[in-house]
Amino acid sequence: MATTTVLESETITGVQQVTLPESANTAAKFTLPIQIAVVQEASVTSDTPITDKMAKDLPAWGAAVSACLKDKPAFVRVVDDQTAPFMVGGSEGKIRLNANNKPICAS
């Protein structure tokens, strides 16, 4: 199941949140285009933030990398020049893009 916030410019009914059903949607049931992007953290310039913080503690580094590999990306829905959170499975992911557009996990 996916959930997203409805932007003010997208509604005339005042609905603030939309949940997309878990079942498969056919074109006849779902016709609105959705543009999804991975959240970018432009303030993070490192390609290896976990290694930068935990290079000397190998067990902690391994645990952080393993946790990152099991996580999912943080998504936003893009509407013109605005974004709205787009959560899959009820929670926001932790993987984001850094300033260089590389996927990273903050440690």
Q: What is the pLDDT of residues 11-55, one digit of tens each?
A: 667 777 777 766 665 544 444 678 899 999 999 999 999 999 998
Q: What is the pLDDT of residues 93-104, one digit of tens each?
A: 899 999 999 999
Query: Exposed (0-12), middle (13-18) or buried (19+): which is 104, by Cβ within 10 Å?
Result: buried
Beta strands in 45-88 (DSSP E): 75-79, 82-88
- Tell me the pLDDT band of 6, cut-offs 50, 70 and 90: confident
Residues 6 or more apart in contact with residue 38 via CB below 8 angstroms? 73, 74, 75, 76, 95, 96, 97, 103
Contact 60, 68 (CB under 8 A): no
Q: How high is the pLDDT of residue 21?
A: 66
| Residue 64 three-state SS | helix
| Joined tokens for residue 71 | 């996580």
d(CA 5, CA 76): 10
pTM of the model: 0.71
